[in-house]
Structure 1
């Protein structure tokens, strides 16, 4: 009798563990599909050692900055930015949930080449997609609708543009909400936004591009404290990294951001993942002094294939 009760208890515990595991696996998650700046890594035209040493080994190449939400329960997924590496990234995304989650929509941050040009893959020359939801701010929507070849995607109904508003939440389903917010950047053709992704009671901030934190109306320290994860602009490590004046391509240097957040406790710093690295950025190279310093100071470096569970 005692033996059979013990066996029954073991069976019940195992069954409950399986149920809990299945429930956990059904939760939405974030997947990092790329970490490099718009030109990828290595970058076209670069003859420096940072790229020359990488070309021969494709395992060292880096895709352009992109993340995705995957919801196993609804079998849906959403990309954040459509990059020049769209083909490989959507293939990887399709495998993230054993091929079950289909591409439901794409959220765009702005009209710089690394963030929207992958939309061309949805056209008649490639996928011939049907009414893929593309979420865009008003200027971004007008840019796509009034300029070829993007306007053809609209006229052929390969994409269906859904207009976003600054700081206005949209509900993707009962588990997931998304809110765009304006950030200062070089807005030649469109606004630039970051996104707050809310899954259950947790939230993630995605800001791949911003000019300088001091130009933003929000206090970065407070933003870190108020959220659970952050994937933020790490384009350059420090001043002098490229030959041309860096004021032409303003971004907060990683060294500046770490100093700005230096007073935060370790638990807060660990929320911060840098992303969107220029090919010259030494943190792209594991083992570099800069890569090690970021980690030693308590911050994190986003990695391709990284999964963030909620």
Structure 2
């Protein structure tokens, strides 16, 4: 099994186009300790030929251009005029940073689009996604807890994690932490190896801990280091948990929640622009690495 990190940042990427928080300012000032990151997405394959895209980032075109394994030329013959190693797409929720890239895939390319019924209904309700020609793009509802094989040799299972509806669907009191169809994690299995991709999660529950026990790889929500990070940075009023993202540090944080579970490699993904783990050598990065975690980056390849 091969995993390829196309984008490692949260919504808006890093740096955000209009942000001068402490971490973004380092980038604008040319500080070598930080590097630009696009919005979160990974690709997975069991054979290196047929690839599953997990979440379609708004930065998808740029990500494909700099990722040879999923470029149009990978595996194409001279007679082909349209080709892509991407045979399927799975979206884990309806957030803009995970579905907007579907619009990039409108050029009459055959692929299957997977998602829970709830998320596919959100996509279907927006007429702009009708640019995905149904003659080319088949939408396939995913049943929670039922494994399927979107590309040859790669078994996939979606499972509910604590989350919420996308921001643009919030109305009145928001149920943050509900487990249903609107936010899922993904188990990927091939050749006796297992990886988990959980880019959005509001809390680490005991059932989630048990699910990922002894996994070869865990790519987990690293949106904020501290729960009140955005208010501290002066760029927002919401806490991480209110946005549906468990913080890395503090009580109930993810840094310690997965200790002692026999996981081979743990890495944070979906990292917000305010998060100081983006800074090489920062105290927060050192704390994460000392606890056995890695900070994912665009172009990172993982072979469990």
The 5 Å alignment of 1:115-126 reads: 115-123=98-106
With over 3 angstroms needed to count, the CA separation of the structure-2 counterparts of 1:218 and 1:154, relative to structure 1, is farther
1:149 equivalent in alignment to 2:128:
yes
Displacement, 1:192?
Answer: 1.3
Give, in whole Å, the separation in 2 of the partners of 1:81 and 1:52.
28
Q: 1:96 to 1:292 in 2, by over 3 A?
A: farther
2: distance between equivalents of 1:172 and 1:43? 33
- CA drift of 1:241 comes to 0.7
Instruction: Work out the CA distance in 1 between the residues paired with 2:185 and 2:129.
Output: 22
SS at 1:54 equivalent: helix
2:28 match: secondary structure: coil
In the superposition, the TM-score normalised over structure 2's length comes to 0.81
Residue 47 (1) aligns with residue 30 (2): no
Q: Can you list the C-alpha shifts for 1:276-310, whole angstroms capped at 9, x where unaligned?
A: 11100001111111101111122222222111114
| Among candidates 191, 201, 223, match of residue 210 of structure 1 | 201
- How large is the RMSD of aligned CA atoms in angstroms? 2.4
2:226 aligned with 1:229, yes or no? Answer: no
Once the 2 structures are TM-superposed, how far is the Cα of residue 122 of structure 1 from its aligned partner?
1.8
Aligned to 1:92: 66
Does 2:160 align with 1:182?
yes
2: distance between equivalents of 1:102 and 1:174? Answer: 12
How much does 1:174 deviate?
A: 5.2
The one of 245, 252, 257 aligned to 2:238: 245
Aligned position for 2:176: none
- Structure with the larger RCO, 1 or 2 (CA within 8 Å, 6+ apart): 2
8 Å CA contact 1:144–1:151 kept in 2: the answer is no
Q: Contact conserved, 2:215 with 2:264, CA < 8 A, in 1?
A: no
Higher CA-based Rg? 1
More helix by share: 1
Query: What's the CA shift for 1:168?
Result: 0.7
Q: Which residue number in structure 1 is paired with residue 44 of structure 2?
A: 69
For residues 1-45 of structure 1, the C-alpha deviation after alignment (integer angstroms, 9 at most, x for no partner) is xxxxxxxxxxxxxxxxxxxxxxxxxxx311111110011001133
CA deviations 1:257-278 (Å, max 9, x no partner) are: 122234x27xx36522111111
Equivalenced residues, count: 271
Q: Structure 1 residues 277, 167: closer, same or farther in 2, change over 3 A?
A: same
Q: TM-score, normalised by structure 1?
A: 0.80
CA–CA distance in structure 1, aligned partners of residues 132 and 297 of structure 2: 31
> Residue 289 of structure 2 aligns to a residue in which SS?
helix
Q: Deviations over 1:212-271 (max 9, x none)?
A: 114xx6141x23423111001111111321111314313211121122234x27xx3652
Q: Structure 1 regions of 5+ residues with no counterpart?
A: 1-27
Match of residue 170 from structure 1: 148
CA-CA distance at 1:77 after TM superposition: 1.2
Does residue 160 of structure 1 match 2:138? yes
Cα 1:56–1:154, aligned 2, differ >3 Å: closer, same or farther?
Answer: farther
